[in-house]
Structure 1
């Protein structure tokens, strides 16, 4: 596949991991989709939501570039499974961030999409760790607990002091958007309505957020409360409650301006 930065052996291994030979869910018998179709693009975004949350990193956050290839297969008793190849961009800068292979299964039962994703990188691990540490130190060295409202503002701008807070919101809300996504509904982070930092005695940072999610294609704005805990190199812990569904709330832990334009980040 043109443009992949992984070496040929590494890329072949990536293909085997995501599309195992002989698997009963191999995409060969599936339906080829137009890469730019709504369903293919939506599934790729779900994969990235999951990947951004699991990555544990603010320096490695990605936005969707272009879907290169998409295949859909109906898995009996399970649901629809998408096989995807797509490019990504750095969430903050818009620069090339590497390519990804992913599968996304939308279960027939009410549960989050089942995602497997493997990506090549244009940043090395040390560079990402250094960027994470810079974000962390900016949070720790504030003279008083961080508070903020309406991030980004109506012009899409973010105060420099609040850049780490926005990046954390992107990472944390990715878990909510992944969990809430279905084959017919997708989500973007539109805005941080409010944020407040909690003072802790250990090295972790902890924040309370109210975030606004833009639901596609309904165009509804969903308000969610999110409690987020983070320390570089450790799993990102998120608990949330969304006001649109009174019975909806969950906790998740990573294993590792309104509208669609917000996907690629606001103006830092």
Structure 2
């Protein structure tokens, strides 16, 4: 059934231009052709979520914090031709910080999924105490080798010009379909959906969640007199801890000069009939 297909293709695994209050050293950017497939292997054994000290890097607490880094990088630097995915966590350390929450210090590798470039970096993620509800804090070390790629800018410019000049507006459904297939001309917009979904997943992430995008259910290009292209996205997110599939509607803009922005995000209900997803 459709949910089985969605879970099998989960890998990618924007006004809101960066949801949380986050900081990164001054270097830190937005590539197509092959469908990205990031698979994070999480061991069955679980540690206590609130455990402090050195953590098993393959267990849920470390993976949850590292996934936040992936979503954070996508909100800063993602595009139809640049999508970041978590590759591996090498080391994870957790501690309680009075007045702030719980801090995770991570050593990890991140892959830009389109061009298959990989870099190691260090990151710090602070989950606020639940009663306080402040935004997440994320800090990532420099990783210029993931960002310096002039090819993606050339591809972005060509894609932007093509869809800015088109007389007919883009519409597509079920990316990927029940067979895991995406038409080549739609792959950049699947990437864009993954990047935009990272804005939602970053704002929704806690110590108790682990999110991936499962499917772009619908994408509709909207007429706009502004420079950026404007799209309405319906996406399905897979929350791996609870095994929930959660639908979100997003209003997204993108241009090579302004990057990806998510202007609106709204949780939705959905139904599945004849292996097709319909948002209600």
Q: TM-score range by the shorter chain?
A: 0.7 to 0.9
Q: Report 1:48-67 matches (<5 A).
A: 48-67=70-89
Equivalent residue for 2:268, pick from 215, 225, 243: 243
Equivalent residue for 2:56, pick from 34, 47, 50: 34
Contact 2:92–2:105, Cα closer than 8 Å, also in 1: yes
Structure 1 moving runs of 4+ over 6 Å: none
Shift of 1:56: 4.8
The alignment of Structure 1 onto Structure 2 pairs a total of residues equal to 217
Quickly say closer, same or farther: Cα 1:171–1:17, change in 2 above 3 A.
Answer: closer
1:121 corresponds to 2:142: no
| Equivalent position of 1:105 in the other structure | 126
- Deviation string 1:29-62 (CA, Å, 9 cap, x unpaired) is x712222121111111111101101115333321
Q: Which moved more, 1:213-222 or 1:49-58?
A: 49-58
> Per the alignment, in what secondary structure is the counterpart of residue 190 of structure 1?
strand
Contact 1:112–1:180, Cα closer than 8 Å, also in 2: no
Contact 2:82–2:114, Cα closer than 8 Å, also in 1: no
> Per the alignment, in what secondary structure is the counterpart of residue 207 of structure 1?
strand
CA distance in 2, matches of 1:226, 1:240: 4
Contact 1:145–1:196, Cα closer than 8 Å, also in 2: yes
Contact 1:97–1:123, Cα closer than 8 Å, also in 2: no
CA distance in 1, matches of 2:183, 2:161: 17
CA distance in 1, matches of 2:117, 2:185: 25
Query: Structure 2: where are the runs of 5+ without partners?
Result: 1-23, 27-51, 270-280
CA distance in 1, matches of 2:139, 2:219: 31
1:172 corresponds to 2:193: no
CA distance in 2, matches of 1:66, 1:46: 13
Query: Structure 1: where are the runs of 5+ without partners?
Result: 1-15, 19-29, 245-268
Q: Which moved more, 1:157-166 or 1:169-178?
A: 157-166
Contact 1:57–1:233, Cα closer than 8 Å, also in 2: no
TM-score where L is the length of structure 1: 0.74
Contact 1:192–1:211, Cα closer than 8 Å, also in 2: yes
User: Which structure is richer in relative contact order (CA contacts within 8 A, separation 6 or more)?
Assistant: 2
CA distance in 2, matches of 1:91, 1:155: 21
> Per the alignment, in what secondary structure is the counterpart of residue 49 of structure 1?
helix
Contact 2:82–2:191, Cα closer than 8 Å, also in 1: no
Quickly say closer, same or farther: Cα 1:141–1:100, change in 2 above 3 A.
Answer: farther
Quickly say closer, same or farther: Cα 1:120–1:75, change in 2 above 3 A.
Answer: same
> Per the alignment, in what secondary structure is the counterpart of residue 77 of structure 1?
coil
Contact 1:84–1:102, Cα closer than 8 Å, also in 2: yes
CA distance in 2, matches of 1:111, 1:150: 35
TM-score where L is the length of structure 2: 0.71
